[in-house]
Amino acid sequence: MTVRVRRVYDPPEPDDGVRVLVDRLWPRGVAKDAAHVDEWPKGLTPSTELRRWYHAGEGSYEEFAERYEAELADPEAAGLLDHVRELARRGDVTLLTASKSPAESHASVLLRLLDGS
């Protein structure tokens, strides 16, 4: 099992496995057929409030990650995280995000949680 994070703007690669969009909003300028997204679990993404708070620059990445992990304890989000974890047990999974800096985004939080499975 390999779980990786890639930008949705990058072309698909043969070893991507299941491609999971982990953004709440569809990325600008990307046609749905060109993105090759297999799953889009919107309930797994940070809340609109948390996303806006983080993008406004009101807190550190560490605080954002902590708040996002707390949101992932919600039953719906936890169930979706378990689903992606199960996909990863069966094969490769690529988490897709439009974030300009995936290393300091919710996608890296998900990657860490999935790698720790």
Q: What is the pLDDT of residues 15-28, one digit of tens each?
A: 999 999 999 999 99
Q: Which long-range contacts (CB under 8 A, 24 or more apart) does 42-48 make?
A: 43/76, 43/77, 43/80, 44/72, 44/77, 44/80, 44/81, 44/84, 44/110, 45/106, 46/71, 46/106, 47/71, 48/24
**Confidence (pLDDT) at 57:** 86
The count of structural domains within the chain is 1
- Domain limits at 87? 3-115
**Confidence (pLDDT) at 59:** 86
Q: What is the pLDDT of residues 71-83, one digit of tens each?
A: 999 999 999 999 9
The helix/strand/coil state of 76 is helix
